[in-house]
Amino acid sequence: MKICLRYLGDPGYQQGIGQELGVSQATVSQTVDRVVNSIVAQSNEWIKFPTTNHELMEAKRLWQSMYKFPTATGVIDCTHIGILKPNRHGDEYINRKGKPTLNVQATCDAREMSTSVDVSLDQCMIPEYVEINRLDYN
pTM of the model: 0.60
For 33-86, write each residue's pLDDT tens digit: 898 888 888 888 888 889 999 999 999 999 999 999 989 999 999 888 888 888
Q: What is the mean pLDDT of residues 15-22?
A: 89
Residue 104, amino acid: V
Angstrom CA distances, 78 to 24, 32, 66, 96, 99, stand at 33, 23, 23, 15, 16
Domain extent listing, the chain: 1-45, 47-138
Q: Do 31 and 3 contact (CB within 8 A), yes or no?
A: yes
In sequence order, the 6+-apart residues with CB closer than 8 A to the CB of 57 are none
Q: What is the pLDDT of residue 137?
A: 29
